[in-house]
Amino acid sequence: MKCAAAGSGTRPRDLVLAFTLLEVMIAMTIFAMAIFTILGSVSQSLSAARSLQKKFPDIGSLAADLMLTNKLEEGTVDGDFGDMFPGYSWRRDIYLKATNGLFQVDFTIHSGKGRQSVDWTTSILLWRPDSPVSTFGRRL
């Protein structure tokens, strides 16, 4: 940290306060490591925030819409998600699973975006409340 002036003796008034090149290089290395650590942390936080965004549709809204009707009829219904998820379409297949009013509903979401087409299929079981015979064989 203290350097003697060139060509002078070692008297205290001739000393010049300055950093050596080695000290400056060590300080710059520590500063660079701290900056890269902070940038890595920010990048990781941004990628975690991006992964939390809803990118793909799920069957939740389709199943909720079906649950509100309380009536199921066998058949197939097709549709799309409109402006919420452009490029995605859905198909709902309903068929009777058992004679007591238990229905299986198959939801298929189709994506035609990009070079590949992808299908997701999920099934749920629903008991129709207006079924003519309950599970215990009594009339409702």
pLDDT digits (tens, 9 = 90+) for 125-137: 888 767 544 444 4
The model's confidence at residue 63, banded by pLDDT at 50, 70 and 90, is: confident
* pLDDT value for 40: 95
* pLDDT value for 8: 56
Residue 66: Cβ-neighbour burial (10 angstroms; 0-12, 13-18, 19+): buried
Average pLDDT over residues 20-36: 95
Higher-pLDDT residue of 127, 115: 127
Q: What is the pTM of this model?
A: 0.54
With a pLDDT cut of 90, the percent of the chain lying above it is 30
| 60-127: CATH architecture | Single Sheet (2.20)
Q: Is the pLDDT of residue 92 over 60?
A: yes
